[in-house]
């Protein structure tokens, strides 16, 4: 279990953050890990993970990283991811323990079962043998027949595979084993025409570029620049009522793929205009999103350049996924889309909406600030950044950076 936790700490907790944030983590953990100035600046991520495993033997330091990342704005999403991965590792270990316990019980010998006995027919010198003994000794007896069966007439001109059935015989006698045959494929011969076909097929064929159905993902810190076209952007909204922190979501694309973006400096909203070409740099990829924190990370392209974004790619970037297809998607992805509300159930902690389309129904669990949004059955909900999860059954739930808007339908 500790090794699984350490893997999460190293591969998800430390590897995915920028060098600057890694320095912050080392500084904040310097006392607990007993890092002097030299170690604080010289130790890499692997060494820090080793020290955390020794210092926090229970969970290799996952909980410590989660608490730290909650206080660093650009690492808040990563804190939630670490929490989910820890729960998944713990659940996996529990299932493994249950499976091993069942296997151990199955492997225990039962006192009620009789000991296996050897049939008298299998005794040496009895003149009779079981089918298993025949199978183990048939190789020398059938070698010559196999050679004969695999010979094919030289007049054969078409590509074919011929199969012959050779009876299995006992090594002690020429008597055929009843009902036992060995299927042996003959040699394959091809004429010159078929060789020419294979030669033609060996040349590479041009492939059409496939249009992705899902947004592309990038992980870690990227300096860029990456030139993209803005497809759409939401209005800024407050995602943290206590700290009055604001952000907006956007979708951008290159000519071959599209990305979802979280922008935490709302000054940039004036640059995220649909069909406008911009360049982004110094961004962090995490949880399927490109995260932009500084206004200096986005610049406009002033040479009137345009990008040829395929219509199919635009449609898929803006499409609402079907509910039945969501059930087969990987858990932990984030979903955007417009859905019809069928039912509404309010509880003390959350509001549960039942959404539907022509393929099925699914529940949406709404928490925190979004419970103040007034939506009733018959209206539509535009969901942005809702996580697909599975806790008993597949459903969507709101997260820290989620947002939703009510679309009232005419009666």
Asked if the domains 220-314 and 320-407 are classified in one and the same CATH topology, the answer is yes
Give the count of beta carbons closer than 10 Å to the beta carbon of residue 360: 13
Please state the length of the chain. 411
- Can you tell me the distance from the alpha carbon of 344 to that of 350, in angstroms, rounded to the nearest whole number? 11
- Can you tell me the distance from the alpha carbon of 154 to that of 186, in angstroms, rounded to the nearest whole number? 13
Q: Which pLDDT tens digit goes with each residue over 325-348?
A: 998 888 889 999 999 999 999 988
Question: What's the fold here for domain 2-94?
Answer: Death Domain, Fas (1.10.533)
Contact 167, 136 (CB under 8 A): no
Contact 142, 168 (CB under 8 A): yes
Band of pLDDT at residue 409, cut at 50, 70 and 90: confident
Q: Which pLDDT tens digit goes with each residue over 275-314?
A: 999 999 999 999 899 999 999 999 988 766 778 999 999 9
- Can you tell me the distance from the alpha carbon of 307 to that of 284, in angstroms, rounded to the nearest whole number? 24
CATH of domain 220-314: 2.40.50.140
- Can you tell me the distance from the alpha carbon of 290 to that of 284, in angstroms, rounded to the nearest whole number? 6
pLDDT of residue 209: 65
Residue corresponding to tokens 């495993």: 53
User: Domain spans of the chain?
Assistant: 2-94, 220-314, 320-407
**Which of these ranges, 2-6, 112-116, 365-369, has the smallest mean pLDDT?**
112-116
pTM > 0.95: no
Mean pLDDT of the chain: 78
Q: Which pLDDT tens digit goes with each residue over 345-365?
A: 998 889 999 999 999 999 999
Q: Which pLDDT tens digit goes with each residue over 215-261?
A: 999 888 998 799 999 999 999 999 988 878 999 999 999 999 999 99
CATH of 320-407, one of 2.60.40.10, 2.40.50.140, 1.20.1730.10, 3.40.1390.20: 2.40.50.140
Which of 213-217's residues contact partners 24+ apart within 8 Å by CB, and which partners? 213/316, 214/333, 215/251, 215/257, 215/258, 215/259, 215/260, 215/288, 215/317, 216/257, 216/258, 216/259, 217/285, 217/288
- Can you tell me the distance from the alpha carbon of 162 to that of 363, in angstroms, rounded to the nearest whole number? 57
Judged on CB neighbours under 10 Å (0-12, 13-18, 19+), 242 is exposed
């Amino acid at each position: 279990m500790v090794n699984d936790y350490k893997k999460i700490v190293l591969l998800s907790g430390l590897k995915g953050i920028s060098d600057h944030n890694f320095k912050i983590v080392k500084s904040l953990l310097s006392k607990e890990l007993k890092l002097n100035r030299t170690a604080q600046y010289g130790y890499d991520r692997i060494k820090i993970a080793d020290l955390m495993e020794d210092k926090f033997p229970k969970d290799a330091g996952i909980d410590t990283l989660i608490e730290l990342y909650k206080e660093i704005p650009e690492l808040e999403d990563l804190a939630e991811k670490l929490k989910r991965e820890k729960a998944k590792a713990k659940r996996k270990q529990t299932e493994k323990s249950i499976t091993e316990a069942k296997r151990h019980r199955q492997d225990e010998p039962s006192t009620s079962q009789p000991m296996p006995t050897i049939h008298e027919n299998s005794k040496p010198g009895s003149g009779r043998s079981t089918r298993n003994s025949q199978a183990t000794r048939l190789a020398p007896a059938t070698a010559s027949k196999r050679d004969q069966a695999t010979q094919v007439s030289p007049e054969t001109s078409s590509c074919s595979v011929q199969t012959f059935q050779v009876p299995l015989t006992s090594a002690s006698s020429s008597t055929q084993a009843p009902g036992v045959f060995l299927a042996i494929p003959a040699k394959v011969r091809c004429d010159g025409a078929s060789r020419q076909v294979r030669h033609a097929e060996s040349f590479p064929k041009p492939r059409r570029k496939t249009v992705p159905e899902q947004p592309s993902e990038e992980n870690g810190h990227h300096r860029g620049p990456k030139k993209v076209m803005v497809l759409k952007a939401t209005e800024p909204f407050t995602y943290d009522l206590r700290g009055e922190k604001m952000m907006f979501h956007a979708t951008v694309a290159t000519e071959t793929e599209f990305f979802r973006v979280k922008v935490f400096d709302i000054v940039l909203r004036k640059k995220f205009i649909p069909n406008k070409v911009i360049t982004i740099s110094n961004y962090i990829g995490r949880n399927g999103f490109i995260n932009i924190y500084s206004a200096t990370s986005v610049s406009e392209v002033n040479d009137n350049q345009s990008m040829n974004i395929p219509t199919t790619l635009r449609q898929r970037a803006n499409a609402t996924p079907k509910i039945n297809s969501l059930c087969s998607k990987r858990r932990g992805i984030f979903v955007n889309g417009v859905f019809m509300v069928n039912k509404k159930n309010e509880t003390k902690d959350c509001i549960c909406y039942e959404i539907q389309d022509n393929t099925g129904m699914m529940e949406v669990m709404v928490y925190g600030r979004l419970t103040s949004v007034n939506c009733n059955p018959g209206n539509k909900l535009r969901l942005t950044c809702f996580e697909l999860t599975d806790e008993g059954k597949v459903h969507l739930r709101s997260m820290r950076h989620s947002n939703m808007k009510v679309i009232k339908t005419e009666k």
